[in-house]
């Protein structure tokens, strides 16, 4: 399916009965605290500009209260924006009529929820085909498509179980199957895995990555977990107090955190799994022979390969196999340990 | 001794009254003549209004009369074996419980043995009709209330009045408007029994998990699809509790409605009160309790059975 990216432009959300009245003041620099104190309105999102690439996973990361769940609800307009645009395939979602929006939600988006939000009175299969029921697809057709996706998420044999009979991880598989059966281009995942055990979470991340490699949907994934963000995200936007404080690839955020807040976050990350060989290699200075690693290999797996092969030096090659640089174990280790300067600003800066 | 006390009290009262102006001592009511006139005007006006529209009122309630008479005839004219068999079948199909079904059989046979079969059938007929009408009226109103806060604010006080007003009091307008008979009785029963249906429908829909509703929205449900796919099924346990309450209240009111001409067990009870027939009254009371228990157990078991999916929780 041809994917389209999502462009979020100048998006503001002010919660309260007369949010629109304060938009100019906020644009002119009224702070969140002042708005709340003087006018009793809550600034949810402030001047959000994110371009979410087509066919990729964009992760929006932030702690609770940062506005990430508010942001994802603007993409299918479960929350009305106060100001700004969300553009998909040339259409401004914020300007859609009620019917247009309903059609957009039916055919273009599918959503997975933190607390699963399955219908307790419907079986797994009936839950899976919910989106198709809404579209008016006949049960014969929808059941066929539903069964296919139930199998893909690994729930074969549970079609006639009720959600209450399943564990959390299995319920979220149903949530994922329900979203995928909709066959929509945009997949919105609102803290989809936050309620799951760590092991099951990693498992579900793999399910998503495997499916995404094949489906190439435009995925928006919300999380408060940086490890999850780095594992899934082609692009990551970090949100704090309703503002984007940094966006870029996982490597960019880990290597060049924009401020102390992100630095504190990044400190705990396993850098070896994020930084790629191409990022820390030296230019090619000698003969391009010996062991080879791809430039997109993470340092951790490059180090493992090199140790297994008993080599301390490897040639880095690009996607076509042409040598582009060299990497030695020393460079890998020094990139993997956290640089000293990032140790200094502690969370005390908060 | 008591006499003396009485005297002193009176003396005190008179003493304090003599110090106060009369206006503050005895309540300044309107003159009897004035009240009498006012009552007359209102009564005449109301009766005149009813007289004018008597044709309309009769046509409107005519279907109720037919329905009620028809059901009564079916219940009383069918052979008792058939009625009993059908009743037990319905109870079994709704509850899927042998115990409740056997209990129903035993209860009904006892009612027959003490000679109250026909009266019980009449009471069953009016209770059935009243419950059906209450459900038919109550659920849509409950849905409307759940959809708008303004609607809820408007209807709630009306329900409060309906539920606090003693049932004897609103027999008065019912009798003035519809006269004496089965149908006025039926209307009184419905008015008495409908508030829990409305309230619990409203409550059930309002209690539906917001996240599930959001999911329904996210998949592009129209308001109607949301109502039938999500809100009504999830509100069903509460709605079933409302139906159960409505049945119980119908049964209670059927007895009171015997005062305006409803037959059956209620009429017998009224007779027993008037004539101090202790045993007769007790037997009728037993019959009422028996059918109340049958209705209650069957409808509750049915409600529980509808919720089977929520029982088996992952361990």
Mean pLDDT calculated for residue range B222-246: 93
Query: CB distance A111–B309 less than 8 Å?
Result: no
- Using CA atoms, how far apart are residues A114 and B314, in angstroms rounded to an integer? 18
Please indicate if any CB of chain B lies within 8 Å of the CB of A120: yes
- The tens digit of pLDDT for each residue in A309-345 reads 888 888 888 888 888 888 888 888 888 886 655 444 4
Give the confidence band of B7 by pLDDT, cuts at 50, 70, 90: very low
Contact A48, A15 (CB under 8 A): no
Cβ-based contacts of A76 with chain B (< 8 Å): 218
Q: Where are the domains of chain B?
A: 54-309
Instruction: Encode A143-174: b = buried (16+ Cβ within 10 Å), e = exposed.
Output: bebbbebbebbebeebbebbbbbbeebbbbbb
- Using CA atoms, how far apart are residues B272 and B286, in angstroms rounded to an integer? 13
Contact B201, B236 (CB under 8 A): no
Write out residues in chain A with pLDDT < 70, as ranges.
1-3, 338-350
Which helix (H) or strand (E) segment is B312 a member of?
none
What is the model's pLDDT at position B101?
96
Fold topology of A6-266: Rossmann fold (3.40.50)
Torsion sign, CA atoms B275, B276, B279, B283: positive
Query: CB distance B220–A110 less than 8 Å?
Result: no
Please name the member of A120, A130, A134 whose beta carbon is closest to the beta carbon of B310: A120
**Three-state SS sequence of B20-49:** CCHHHHCCCCCCHHHHHHHHHHHHHHHHHH
Please tell me the distance in Å from A166's CA to the nearest CA on chain B: 5
What is the model's pLDDT at position A339?
66
Please name the member of B211, B229, B312 whose beta carbon is closest to the beta carbon of A113: B211
pLDDT at B6 over 70: no
- The tens digit of pLDDT for each residue in A113-124 reads 999 999 999 999
- The tens digit of pLDDT for each residue in B75-87 reads 999 999 999 999 9
What's the CATH number for A272-340?
A: 3.90.1280.20
Cβ-based contacts of A188 with chain B (< 8 Å): 218
What is the model's pLDDT at position B2?
46
Per the model's pLDDT, the better-predicted residue between B264 and B170 turns out to be B264
What is the model's pLDDT at position B12?
55
- The tens digit of pLDDT for each residue in B156-203 reads 999 999 888 888 888 888 888 888 889 999 999 999 999 999 999 999
Please indicate if any CB of chain B lies within 8 Å of the CB of A130: yes
Cβ-based contacts of B235 with chain A (< 8 Å): none
- The tens digit of pLDDT for each residue in A173-215 reads 999 999 999 989 999 999 999 988 889 999 999 999 999 999 9
User: Please, which residues 135-154 of chain A have a Cβ atom closer than 8 Å to chain B?
Assistant: 135
Instruction: Determine whether domain B54-309 maps to CATH 1.10.3720.10.
Output: yes
Q: Where are the domains of chain A?
A: 6-266, 272-340
Cβ neighbours of residue A190 under 8 Å, at least 6 residues apart?
A69, A72, A73, A111, A112, A113, A114, A222
Which tokens sit at B134? 């209450």
Query: CB distance A110–B219 less than 8 Å?
Result: yes
**Three-state SS sequence of A121-186:** CCCHHHHHCHHHHHHCCCHHHHHHHHHHHHHHCCCCCCCCCCHHHCCHHHHHHHHHHHHHHCCCCE
What is the model's pLDDT at position A349?
41
DSSP β-ladder status, A42-52 and A6-15: antiparallel
User: Chain-centre distance of CA B227, in angstroms?
Assistant: 27
Contact A88, A186 (CB under 8 A): yes
Among B219, B224, B232, most A C-beta atoms within 10 A, so best to mutate, is B219
Give the confidence band of B1 by pLDDT, cuts at 50, 70, 90: very low
Which tokens sit at B101? 């079904």
Which tokens sit at A312? 């301390």
Query: CB distance B217–A120 less than 8 Å?
Result: no
Residue of B nearest to A164 (CA): B313
List the beta bridge partners of residue A91: A88
- The tens digit of pLDDT for each residue in B8-64 reads 454 455 556 777 777 787 888 888 889 999 999 998 988 888 888 888 888 888 999
Please tell me the distance in Å from B254's CA to the nearest CA on chain A: 36
């Amino acid at each position: 399916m041809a994917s389209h990216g999502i462009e979020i432009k100048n998006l503001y959300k002010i919660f309260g009965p007369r949010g629109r009245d304060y938009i100019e003041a906020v644009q002119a620099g009224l702070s969140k605290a002042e708005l709340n104190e003087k006018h009793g309105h809550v600034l949810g999102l402030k001047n959000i500009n994110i371009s979410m690439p087509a066919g990729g996973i964009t992760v929006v990361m932030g702690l609770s209260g940062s506005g990430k769940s508010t942001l994802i609800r603007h993409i299918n307009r479960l929350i009305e924006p106060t100001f700004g645009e969300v553009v998909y395939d040339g259409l401004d979602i914020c300007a859609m009529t009620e019917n247009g929006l309903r059609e957009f939600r039916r055919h273009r988006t599918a959503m997975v929820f933190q607390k699963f939000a399955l219908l307790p009175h419907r079986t797994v299969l009936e839950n899976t085909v919910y989106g198709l029921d809404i579209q008016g697809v006949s049960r014969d057709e929808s059941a066929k498509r539903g069964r296919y996706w139930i199998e893909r998420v690994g729930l074969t044999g549970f079609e006639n179980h009720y959600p209450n009979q399943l564990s959390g991880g299995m319920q979220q598989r149903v949530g994922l199957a329900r979203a995928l059966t909709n066959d929509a281009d945009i997949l919105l995942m609102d803290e989809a895995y936050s309620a799951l055990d760590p092991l099951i979470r990693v498992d579900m991340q793999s399910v998503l990555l495997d499916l995404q490699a094949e489906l190439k949907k435009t995925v928006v994934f919300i999380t408060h977990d940086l490890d999850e963000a780095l594992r899934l995200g082609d692009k990551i936007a970090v949100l704090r107090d309703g503002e984007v404080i940094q966006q870029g690839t996982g490597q960019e955020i880990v290597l060049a955190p924009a401020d102390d807040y992100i630095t504190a976050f990044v400190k705990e990350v396993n850098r070896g799994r994020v930084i790629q060989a191409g990022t820390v290699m030296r230019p090619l200075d000698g003969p391009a022979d010996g062991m080879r690693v791809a430039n997109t290999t993470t340092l951790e797996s490059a180090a493992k390969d090199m140790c297994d092969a008993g080599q301390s030096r490897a040639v880095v090659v690009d996607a076509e196999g042409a040598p582009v640089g060299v990497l030695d174990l020393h460079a890998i280790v020094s990139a993997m340990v956290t640089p000293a300067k990032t140790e200094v600003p502690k969370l005390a800066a908060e | 001794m008591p006499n003396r006390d009485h005297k002193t009290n009176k003396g005190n009262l008179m003493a304090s009254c003599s110090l106060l102006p009369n206006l503050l001592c005895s309540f300044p009511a309107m003159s009897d003549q004035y009240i009498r006139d006012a009552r007359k005007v209102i009564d005449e006006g109301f009766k005149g209004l009813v007289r004018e529209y008597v044709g309309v009122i009769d046509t409107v309630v005519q279907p109720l009369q037919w329905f009620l008479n028809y059901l009564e005839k079916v219940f009383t004219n069918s052979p008792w074996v058939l009625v009993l068999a059908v009743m037990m079948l319905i109870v079994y199909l709704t509850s899927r419980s042998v115990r409740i079904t056997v209990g129903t059989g035993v209860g009904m046979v006892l009612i027959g043995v003490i000679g109250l079969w026909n009266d019980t059938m009449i009471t069953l007929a009016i209770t059935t009709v009243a419950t059906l009408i209450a459900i038919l009226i109550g659920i849509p109103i409950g849905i409307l209330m759940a959809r708008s806060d303004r609607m809820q604010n408007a209807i709630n006080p009306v329900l409060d009045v309906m539920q606090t007003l003693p049932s004897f009091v609103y027999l008065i307008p019912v009798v003035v408007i519809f006269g004496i008979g089965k149908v006025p009785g039926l209307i009184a029963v419905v008015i008495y029994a409908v508030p829990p249906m409305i309230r619990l429908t409203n409550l059930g829909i309002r209690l539906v998990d917001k996240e599930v509703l959001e999911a329904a929205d996210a998949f592009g449900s129209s308001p109607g699809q949301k109502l039938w796919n999500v809100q009504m099924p999830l509100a069903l346990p509460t709605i079933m509790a409302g139906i159960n309450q409505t049945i119980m209240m119908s049964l209670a009111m059927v007895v009171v409605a015997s005062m305006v001409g409803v037959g059956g067990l209620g009429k017998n009870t009224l007779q027993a009160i008037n004539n101090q027939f202790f045993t007769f009254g007790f037997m009728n009371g037993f019959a009422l309790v028996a059918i109340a228990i049958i209705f209650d157990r069957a409808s509750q078991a049915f409600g529980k059975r509808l919720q089977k999916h929520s029982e088996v929780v992952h361990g």
